[in-house]
Each structure stands twice: as C-alpha cells, then as structure tokens.
Amino acid sequence: MTLDFVVDKLEASDSLDGVVITDHTFAIYFPPDVAWARAYMSDSSVFDAHKDFGAERLESYLASIEALRGKGPRVGLETEIMCDGRFTFDPAYRERLDVLIGSVHFLPFEVNAGKLEIFDMWRKNTSELINSGIDVLGHPFRFIANHIAVSEEVIADVVDEAVSAGVALELNSHCEVDADSMMLRKLAEKGGKLAFSTDAHRRDEFGVFTHHEKKMSAAGTTMADFKIFPEPSLMWEVSRGESSKQPVSIGGSL
C-alpha cells in the first residue's frame, strides 16, 4: 500500500472522513531479523543500540505523511511497551503524532510458562499501555485470547480502566476475536471511546467496515452507543459538504 493509493481512495470515497496511517514502531526501529526476534521486549538495550537507526527511518516516515496535510491522511504509530516501561520509539516524537496506538503483540514468557503467568504478564503490560498516554488500546484481547479463555470479568476490568484513562478501545477487523463482542457491550454501557480499525495491510482491506458492522450488530450496539474516536470534525475539514459522520479508519501499513 502506498500513500498515493490512500489519497486516491479518500478522494473517491463518499463514506470515509479520514484515515490515520499507523505503522508498527518495531518495523521502523529495527531491521526485520531483529524486529521479529523481539528480544527488545525483555532486553531494552537492543532498542538503545538501534535508536539512531530507528530515528532516521521514523523521520522519513513522519515527513512523508506530514507532506500530505490537507489531503486526508494523518500521522500515527502503533507501539509496544518494553520491560522497562519505555515505548518502542523515542517519545520525543509523540507531539508529531495525531494518533498513538498501544498494543500487546508479544510478551517474553518462557515456553513452559503457565496460563496464570501469561495472564499476569499480559494484564500488567495492558495496564501500562492504558496509562502511558496512548490514544487507543489496539486489539485489546487478541493476544490473551490466543492463550486463555477471556472472561466477562476480565473484559469489564480492562474496559473500566480504559474509560477511566480516556483511552479508546479498538475494534480491529484483521483477526476474529470472540471477546470483542463482550467488549462492545461493556464499552457501550460506559459510553466509552471506540476506534474503528481496518488494520489494513493490503489494498483490498482499505476502508472495509463489514466486520465492524457485523460485530456491533451481534453485540446489539450501534455507533450512537459510543464516543467514536477520533471525532472527525475535530481532526478533518471535510471538503464534501457536511461531515458524513462515518468512521475514521485507523490502522494500516505503508
């Protein structure tokens, strides 16, 4: 996917108010072999060793999107939190971001770790993300749902913490997560913030919200039950007359 493609799709769309590009910080800061080995999660000196490499690439990434201000795309990143509580990017760049997503993609537990240990590590990392200054908690239950059944109590606890912190929860269409239905119901009860993400990695995924519509219908919720993040009128000047009030698509990799 290219920026030219994104701009062209936005200009041709009657339903999208905008899009936020949110590349993974680990894909920017590390060469592929280092990124996918993910040693930096438990040993943050790996991040420090690549800080200059990452900063140069991040500057290029930010500048390429910033150059399109006024044409639709906004600047975002998706980050993790390492074992020492730091993001996997230099926080000095935070002020240049319109949206920061924080997500759990990997945790450094041993192969023989028990389910309780994995849960405790995930819950701690999730809480650190929620209270770190992010805007959106990315795919909140995807990681842990791959390891244990996620209870209603756990979902409610995460929703409550996110609402208290003013953090939006992401409804992500890249993977099917059963816990998302309960997340929507609990979030609707609180009138919390919801972010729609296509997490588009391919062109045919861009701006497609059928998954989100099905999930909300199954949960018995509508857009009116949530504070939709980001509010289009706050971030985009809609050039096609009045705002369509359709979702702003968050996510996607260039």
Q: pLDDT tens digit string along 13-71?
A: 887 778 889 999 999 999 999 999 999 999 999 999 999 999 999 999 999 999 988 77
Quote the tokens at residue 156.
């409610």
pLDDT of residue 58: 97
Average pLDDT over residues 214-227: 93
Q: Any bridge partners for residue 87, and if so which?
A: 81
Helix axes 115-130, 152-165, angle to 10 degrees: 20
Q: Establish how many alpha carbons lie within 13 A of residue 23's alpha carbon, considering only the half-sphere containing its beta carbon.
A: 23
Rounded to whole angstroms, the Cα distance separating 151 from 171 reads: 18
Domain span at residue 205 reads: 3-250
Statement: the pTM of the whole predicted model exceeds 0.95: no
- Domain holding 178: CATH number? 3.20.20.140
The CA-based angle 130-188-179, given to 5 degrees, is: 65
Q: Any bridge partners for residue 22, and if so which?
A: 76
- CA 41 from centre of chain: 18
Hunting for tokens 């590590």 — which residue is that? 121
| Count of domains observed in the chain | 1
Contact 55, 92 (CB under 8 A): no
Q: Residue 196 — very low, low, confident or very high, per pLDDT cuts 50/70/90? A: confident
pLDDT of residue 232 exceeding 70 = no
Q: Pick from 73, 90, 85, 86: which is nearest to 28 by CA?
A: 90
46 C-beta neighbours (distance < 10 Å), count = 18
